[in-house]
Amino acid sequence: LLLCSLWLSAAPLASSIFQQPTGTPAPPRLQYLLEPLHATVHTQRGATATLPCVLRALPRNYRVKWSKVEPANYGESVIIITNGLYHKNYGPLSPRVRLRHSHRYDASLTITDVALEDEGRYRCQLVNGLEDESVSLTLHLEGVVFPYQPSNGRYKFNYHEAKRACEQQDSRLATYQQLYKAWTEGLDWCNAGWILDGTVRYPIINSREPCGGHLLLPGVRTYGARDKQKDRFDAFCFTSALQGQVYFIRGHLNFKEAGQACRNHGAAIAKVGQLYSAWKFSQLDRCDGGWLEDGSVRYPITTPRQRCGGLPDPGVRSFGFPRKELRTYGTYCFVG
């Protein structure tokens, strides 16, 4: 393992002032934290994930502080502090975090029942007088990004409404990194939507006239930061693996009957994020349109074929928001 070289205070300045004579090796610095082999830990919602932080020696009177970096407010939220013998948990993560402590040098952080909002950057800081050091790690959730708009048309959400709409559909507003990854995997969408940092963006693979014109290169295009109260756009939501199952009930049901059909089976009518998750992680593939909790009708396709919409790529297809009185579709149910 490489030794951590993330020093605070004036250590870099000091090293530039006091030069060693030519040919004389510099004395080794006393550094305690080991650089993790992998700076990113991959996981899924509902799993248990461990962020490694290991010391090579135990200094006197030290503390280790874990925090989550919050880029939205340029701060950090403390999660846990330990002196090797005792520890104290802080904040909303408190019930789901613990120190792994598999040996006396181990200060790794374990998060149980990983939630969508746990994704992000974490810092393990050794507090040891003037010789503080830290390592940064990223917790990455495997998942899927989907565009979302309400039944009354596009560009109806301010930022707070977009955030709430994603949460109501078993998801959360996507981060820029999640949207960018979705674009590299084929997401091509012309409507602009809010993402978690308060900016408005849209991913384009095939440049075309209604989407900025043919001259603009493909990419994740941006409108920049917008007024979270006044400006209105769609939303880009992110969801991860389910702890449950989505299944289809065939029939000619109106919206009310669709919900009752799911309840008759001890389930609930599925949310949009749950259908996307089942499509992504369980390879749910059906050619049948079915009602969802928000009143939309959709169906998931993992193996594209002519009789199922004729589109060449996998995806969750949508019939929009039909009249709820229509008895045309079946329903997708979710049981946890």
Same domain, 115 and 179: no
- Kindly report each contact of residues 304-313 with a partner whose C-beta sits within 8 Å and lies 24 or more positions away, as own/partner: 313/186
* pLDDT number for residue 5: 35
Q: Which of the listed residues 121, 141, 161 is the one where a domain comes to its end?
A: 141
Decide if 175 contacts 141 (C-beta within 8 A): no
Total count of domains within the chain:
3
- On whether both 127 and 169 belong to a single domain, the answer is no
Amino acid at residue number 142: E
Number of C-beta neighbours around residue 137 at 10 A: 20
* Contacts with 167 (C-beta within 8 Å, 6 or more apart), sequence order: none
- 268: which 2 tokens? 């609930």
Q: Is residue 5 part of a domain?
A: no
Residue 242 · residue 278 · CB < 8 Å: yes
Same domain, 188 and 285: no
- Which stretches of the chain score pLDDT less than 70? 1-30, 71-74, 130-131
E strand or H helix at 262: helix 255-264
Tens digit of each residue's pLDDT (9 = 90 or more) over 278-328: 999 999 999 999 999 999 999 999 999 998 988 899 999 999 999 999 999
Based on the domain organization, do 183 and 279 belong to the same domain? no
Is residue 12 included in any domain, yes or no? no
Per cent of the chain over pLDDT 70 is: 89
Instruction: Name the E strands within 232-328.
Output: 234-240, 245-253, 268-269, 290-291, 297-301, 315-318
What's the CATH number where 313 sits?
Answer: 3.10.100.10
Residues 177 and 250 in one domain: no
Residue 289 and residue 59: Cα distance in Å, rounded?
63
Look at residue 23 in the predicted model and tell me its pLDDT.
55
Whether 270 and 331 share a structural domain:
yes
Together in a domain, 38 and 130: yes
Measure CA 285 to chain center.
Answer: 24
Range of the domain at 285: 241-335
Could you tell me if 181 and 280 lie in one domain? no
CA distance 269 to 73: 36
Q: Is residue 6 part of a domain?
A: no
Of 141, 161, 191, which residue sits at a domain end? Answer: 141
C-alpha–C-alpha distance, residues 89 and 179, integer Å: 32
- If asked whether residues 227 and 304 sit together in one domain, one would say no
The reported pLDDT for the residue numbered 161 is: 98
CATH of residue 40's domain is 2.60.40.10
- List, in sequence order, every residue forming a beta bridge with 299; answer none if it has no partner: 317
Q: Which H or E run contains 239?
A: strand 234-240
Contacts of 306 (CB under 8 A, 6+ apart): none
How far, in Å, CA of 130 to CA of 10, rounded?
9
Instruction: Tokens for 57, please give them.
Output: 């020696």
Q: Which residue among 180, 214, 239 closes a domain?
A: 239
57 lies in the same domain as 88: yes
Question: Is residue 302 situated within a structural domain?
Answer: yes
DSSP labels, 186-238: T----S-EE-TTSEEEEEESS--GGGT-SSSPSEEEEEEE--TTT--BEEEEE
Residues 201 and 246 in one domain: no
Beta-bridged to residue 218, according to DSSP, are: none
Whether residue 316 is contained in a domain is answered as: yes
Q: Answer yes or no: do 221 and 259 share one domain.
A: no
Give the phi and the psi of residue 54 in degrees, each rounded to 5: -125, 135
Q: What is the full DSSP assignment across 65-113?
A: EEEEEETTTTEEEEEEEE-SS-EEE-STTGGGEEE--SSTTB--EEESS
Q: What is the pLDDT of residue 25?
A: 60
